[in-house]
Amino acid sequence: MAVAIVLVLVVITALAFDFTNGFHDTGNAMATSIATGALPPKVAVALSGVLNLVGAFLSLSVAATIASGLVDTKLVTLTVVFAGLIGGIVWNLMTWFLGIPSSSSHALIGGVVGATIAAAGFGGVQWQNLVSKVIIPAGLSPIIAGIVATVGTYLIYRISRGVAAGVRDRGFRIGQIGSASMVSLAHGTNDAQKTMGIITLALITSGALPAGSKAPFWVVLTCALAISLGTYLGGWRVIRTLGKGLVEIESPQGMAAESSSAAVILLSSSFGYSLSTTHVATGSILGTGIGKKGAEVRWGVAGRMATAWLFTLPAAAIVGAVSFFIANFIGGTAGVIVMFLVLIAIALLIYLRSRKTAVHAGNVNEEWTGGVAPPQRETASSTSA
Amino acid sequence: MNSWINLSAVGLILGLGLVFGAGLPALFAVGLRVLSTSAPTSEGPASDGASAIGPRAVGPARMAVAVICFAIVVVAIAAGIYLIVRQS
């Protein structure tokens, strides 16, 4: 009975993570289409949501777990998974509140690594794999995506110089929507799988499924729904930063950015590297700013993001570790329940705080003035720039 | 250091990334350019609607080039979807 309660809470928490994963990453695919007006904001998030749903069902063989190869899976208990998820969710919510696109995958990995360290010490982590499979690809991927997008943008503007403005805009909007759809599809496949893997891992750990099982259908279904619902909700704060904050984007640039993102994500995952969609998308958008003559790139915003990326793994790890310590200190089912309530309280607090500077479909494209939220109500952080 | 960074994979991803990620949109742009009949003269008003890129104003050779460009892009997208479906 006690195990059943813990298992149910872990599954719910995993789906909650999947949900935050969805709305945190909507902008990766759709921010550029929204910013250029290729799609109305609501239509864009709906399209992305549907494509994430489809994407989640597309790939049939679900990877067993995100943690394999990074931590010693023999040490992973339900409480470790649970604490790791809390680390991921809390970091996702905080960066969403600040409007910073940061990697949901890194948040999850960080949380699980932190919880493992708390449970079994530093020896439980496979550090070289962590560096070579997670940290180095994370450093390289935005640069590669940025180069591709820079070249793409340069070529597109070069080639289409003589094309009448009307034709050009209409054409590139179609291209933009198509390429953004590819990113959404790839996102659904990659990211929903991570949660499917986590839930399957939890089911196996608790003995509900035999070792080596594939994800049962209800897991695939609930994960697909959670990520697409999250996507449909739209992380407007992150969308705004990516679409308006980093670079002022026109539709040819949007198409270049999304094509670059789709190509880099698909290529590298077929080579066995699971990259963060966020890192790739951000690098691409920066690249289109560099590739277009006279475009303004806000390096300050980019720097803020890069800083947040550096902190993602350790910060999520700390939250994961602390969650594990508290849950473990209280012990057993009670510990997990207490941490679950704490998580709800934190999420509610961040949500309520975000209402004061709400960003939504109606104001997501307002002129960028330095802060995440448009200046309908001045906050301390907003400076005119 | 080679166990930390797989340089050949990085080079391959960058190279193929340039071909697909930058080459395809460039090809798309070529298609648009060919369709928009010799730029300055065809700058129709915005109200021109879809007919601005319609076959009426475009010769068969240009049309063929445009169709080939867009076809390659569509095939590449299909290949991309296949990659998504196939990968684990």
Residue B63 has pLDDT above 80, yes or no: yes
pLDDT digits 0-9 by tens, B4-53: 677 888 888 899 999 999 999 999 999 988 887 654 444 444 444 444 44
For B13, which of A165, A178, A271 is closest by C-beta distance? A271
Beta-carbon separation of B21 and A262 below 8 A: yes
Strand partners, A71: A68, A125
CA B44 to chain A, closest CA, distance in angstroms equals 8
pLDDT averages per 10-residue partition of chain A, 385 residues: 85 94 89 90 92 83 60 84 94 90 90 93 88 87 94 92 81 90 87 86 85 84 93 88 87 92 87 83 92 86 89 94 93 88 91 84 78 58 38
Rounded to two decimals, what is the model's pTM? 0.86
Scanning every residue of chain A, which has its alpha carbon at the shortest distance from the alpha carbon of B28? A175
Q: How far is CA A82 from CA A19, A247, A264, A299, in A?
A: 16, 38, 32, 37
Q: Which of A241, A190, A191 is nearest to A30 (CA)?
A: A241
Confidence (pLDDT) at B59: 81
Burial (0-12, 13-18, 19+ Cβ within 10 Å), A350: middle
**Chain B residues with CB inside 8 Å of A149's CB?**
21-22
Q: How far is CA A48 from CA A25, A52, A235, A295, A383, in A?
A: 10, 6, 12, 27, 32
| Interface ipTM | 0.80
CA A326 to chain B, closest CA, distance in angstroms equals 35
- Residue A16 one-letter amino acid: A
Confidence (pLDDT) at A86: 95
Scanning every residue of chain B, which has its alpha carbon at the shortest distance from the alpha carbon of A136? B5
pLDDT band at B86 (very low <50, low <70, confident <90, very high): confident
**Chain A residues with CB inside 8 Å of B34's CB?**
none
Q: How far is CA A158 from CA A162, A310, B70, in A?
A: 9, 36, 18
Contacts of A250 (CB under 8 A, 6+ apart): A36, A292
Strand, helix or coil for residue B5: coil
Interface of B with A in 11-70 (CB under 8 A): 12-14, 16-18, 20-26, 28-33, 35-36, 38-40, 42-46, 48, 52-53
Contacts of B79 (CB under 8 A, 6+ apart): none
Phi, psi of A40, deg, nearest 5: -65, 145
For B26, which of A140, A156, A178 is closest by C-beta distance? A156
Confidence (pLDDT) at A147: 96
Scanning every residue of chain A, which has its alpha carbon at the shortest distance from the alpha carbon of B9? A271
Q: Is the dihedral of CA A179, A37, A189, A97 positive or negative?
A: positive
Q: Which of A269, A179, A189 is nearest to B22 (CA)?
A: A179
Q: Which of A166, A10, A173, A159 is nearest to A82 (CA)?
A: A10
Question: Between chain A and chain B, how many beta carbons pairs sit less than 8 Å apart?
Answer: 154
Mutation choice for A interface testing from B4, B16, B87 by most A CBs within 10 A: B87
For A267, which of B16, B23, B30 is closest by C-beta distance? B16
Confidence (pLDDT) at B53: 46
**Chain B residues with CB inside 8 Å of A162's CB?**
33, 36, 38-40
Task: Report the Cα A312 to chain-centroid distance in Å.
Answer: 12
B43: left (phi over 0), alpha (psi -120 to 50) or beta: beta
Give chain B's largest Cα–Cα span.
60
- Residue A268 one-letter amino acid: S
For A159, which of B21, B24, B29 is closest by C-beta distance? B29
CA A114 to chain B, closest CA, distance in angstroms equals 22
